[in-house]
Structures are given as C-alpha cells and as structure tokens.
Amino acid sequence: MSQKTFVILMAMIIGVSPFAVDTYLPAMPYMAEYFNVGPDEIATTISFYIFGMAIGQLIGGPLADRFGKKRMIILGLSIYSVTTLIIAQADSLLTVQIMRVVQAIGGGFSVVCVPALIRERATGNQAAKMFALVTLILVGAPALAPSIGALILLVADWQVIFYALFGYGMLVILLTVLKLPNDTIEHHQTLSVIERYRFVLHNKPALRYIGVQGFSQSVMMIFITNASFVYQQYFGLDDQVFALVFAANVVAMAVINRVNNYLLSTYMANFLLKWALRFQFLFVALFVLFTYLDAPVEIQAISVICMIGSLGASMPNCNAIYISHFKEHTGSASALFGANQFFISSITGWLTTVFYDGSLWPVAGMLMFVTIAANLIMPSIKHESPLIRSNQ
C-alpha cells in the first residue's frame, strides 16, 4: 500500500467525526424547530457526540491492540453507519442524543486506530510530517461539511444530511476492506485493559502532551458547539454565508499546516508546537477584547479564523511527539490521548451551553481558560536545541 493511498485512507477514517459534527451545523435551527426545543438543546448533540468519541476510543484502543486495528475500524464504522440511519428517522431529541453517543462510540473505535497505524510507519519529525499530511486532507472535511449541509437544505430536509453521512460511512468501510492490509496483532494478548493503560501511564514524559492536545483542540470544539449561535443567531448570517465563513477557518488551518510541514525540515516538532500554542492564545485574547468592544462580525471572525487556524500546526506536532514515545500498546496509547481530548472538549463545550445567556461571554471565557491551560501544561524545551538536521 503506497504512502499516498495510506494517508488518504487514514484521513477518510478520521473524517467520519468532522463530517458527523459539521455537516448538520446549518440545519441546527431547523432541527430546533422540528423537535420544538431551543438552540442550546440542539447544541448538546455535539457535546454528546464528543463524549461518545472519548468512550469509544477508551474501549477501542485496547481492543485494537488485541484483535487488530483493521477489524476495529470495520466494526466501528459499521456501528457509526447504523446509528446514523436511526438518527435520520428519529422523532424525538432524546433519541437523537442517545444515538449520537452510540454513533460516536463507533467512530471512536475506528479513529483511535489511525495514530497507532501511523506510528507503525514513522516516528518523530517524520511522523509529524505524516500527521500533517493526514491533517491537511482532513481539514477539507470541516470546510466542505457545512457547505454540503447547506446545499442539502436547499433541496431537502435536515434528515437527508444524516442519510448522506450513512453513505460516507459505508464508502469508508468498503475502502478499508479493499485497501488496508491486515495489521500485526501484538503478542501481549493476555494483558488486561488495565495493564495496558498502566503501561501507557508509566510513560511520564508523554503524559503532558495529552493535556496540551486536550485543551488546545478544545478551542475548535468549543467554537463548533456554538458556531451556529454565534454566526447565525448573534450576528444574523444566513446559511450560505455561515458556511463560507466557517470554511475560512479550515483554509487558515490548511495554510498553517503547510507552513508547519515546511518548517519541520528545520525545526523540532516541540519547538513549533510551543509557538503554535502562543499564536492561538494571542488570537483568543483578541476574541475576548473584541467581545468586550462588541466588534462587528467581520472583525470578530478574524480572531476566530486565526485561533482555529493555529491547530494546523499544533495538532500534527502534538500527535507525533506523543505517539513517538511508544513502541508497543500503541492502540491503548492512542486511546488515552484521543479520549482525553474529547472528554475535555465535551465538558468545555457543554459548559458553554450551560452558561448560555445570549451573549458571547460564555464562549469567550471558556476559550481563554483552555488556551491558558494548554500553554501552562506544555513541557519546557529550554534544554533542547530548536534546530534539527533536515534528514532527521
């Protein structure tokens, strides 16, 4: 299997989550009307999904180590696809919320296998470049997803969006069966789940990167949870303009991702990660300032685009640094890493709905909290040279 084909397939597997979260964002007002609930209640379906992803990864990681990553990907995507159909036919918000958790558990089973499969092929800056390629393809999903959702809404009801997600899940299952080779199952099959996680938790140098990723990526999840409220209700943008503004976030991620990939030939991944976190904090601070000044949407959107764009550098670098600490139990290591970031994201996103008051302050306050936390947790690199050899 060529590296290009491998990277595209890995991106498509990870893509089940951004498609599941972002495609129906333009439909949230219509769903609120359909179920006769408030916008904040519909927004909880995003936090439910993120929470389910965390559970799915915690369960799926050790199972992938024991039974094989290809099997877990196929099983997870099957669960994801079936529950997507149920959501499309739901007649109550409670059914949607429950099925979103189960849908996300299936997505977690499959997504958790991707970093482990990349670790089998590369480490260090080489792994960071591979993660960057996966991320580059992956960021196309959040850019396309709201636009796809908006286009569907022009000709059909919101339920059709979930039928489209079902089709995507089935396509990825087919490609996984046909293209992904059977992976090597670890010899430590007798180890319990607790023993596998104990092994991961003993790797102290890697653990701080779990917190860094969890808090820094929460910036995107917090905003996604509230994107419909911020752009469509607070600033009054229509469906199509909302999709275009949302897509600008992903363009920024792609640009910074390519800059990061170029700089990886000269600088260490942890050096670039440190500066990506500082860049993110700067624009979160501007978001808070613009909220205080009641700035127009054109100004406020700039801070959002830049804070989310920084993830184009922080996500691949943090992933690569963390997973490179492990040679075995990579599924369990990946599970702990991914589950933590989704737990933190789901809690912080949910808290913004709890403190919803019709203003931007709950969003601004939570964004400031998570970016400060990410920068404080980031390990010091003062004793390490920021320069590396280009072939390293």
* Closest by CA position to 72, among listed 334, 349, 342, 279: 334
Predicted TM-score (pTM) of this structure: 0.71
Return the minimum-mean-pLDDT range out of 32-41, 279-288, 378-387: 378-387
Q: Is pLDDT at 86 greater than 90 in this prediction? A: yes
124: left (phi over 0), alpha (psi -120 to 50) or beta: left
- Is the pLDDT confidence value at 40 over 80? no
Lowest mean pLDDT among 94-103, 105-114, 196-205, 376-385: 376-385
Alpha helices in 156-203 (DSSP H): 159-179, 193-201
pLDDT over 50 at 250, yes or no: yes
pLDDT of residue 133: 77
**Pick the residue with more confidence: 339 or 188?**
339
For residue 136 the two structure tokens come to: 């580059």
Across the chain, mean pLDDT equals: 85
Q: What is the pLDDT of residues 165-212, one digit of tens each?
A: 999 999 999 999 998 887 766 555 667 778 888 888 888 888 889 899
The amino acid at residue 246 is F
Coil, strand or helix at 311: helix
Taking only the tens place, the pLDDT of each residue in 289-332 is 999 999 998 899 999 999 999 999 998 899 888 888 887 778 88
Q: Report the pLDDT value the prediction gives residue 387, as an integer from 0 to 100.
A: 39
Cα–Cα dist 91/46, whole Å: 18
Query: What are the tens digits of pLDDT across the range 218-240?
Result: 998 888 788 878 888 888 888 77
pLDDT tens digits for 136-161?
Answer: 766 667 667 888 898 999 999 999 99
Per-residue pLDDT at 184: 64
Residue 236: what pLDDT? 84
- Of the listed ranges 84-88, 176-180, 356-360, the one predicted with least confidence: 356-360
CA pair distance 345, 357, nearest whole angstrom: 20
CA distance 350 to 378: 24
Mean pLDDT of all residues in 73-79: 96
| pLDDT score, position 247 | 79
Domain boundaries, the chain: 3-377
How much is the pLDDT for 310? Answer: 94
Question: What's the rounded Cα separation, in Å, for the pair 338 and 358?
Answer: 31
- 114 CA to centre of own chain: 13
Report whether pLDDT(383) > 60: no
Half-sphere exposure of 382 (CA within 13 A, CB side): 1
Model confidence at 371, pLDDT cuts 50, 70, 90, reads: very high
Asked if 350 and 169 touch (Cβ cutoff 8 Å), the reply is no
Confidence of residue 390 (pLDDT cuts 50, 70, 90): very low
How far, in Å, CA of 179 to CA of 193, rounded? 29
CATH topology for 3-377 is Growth Hormone; Chain: A; (1.20.1250)
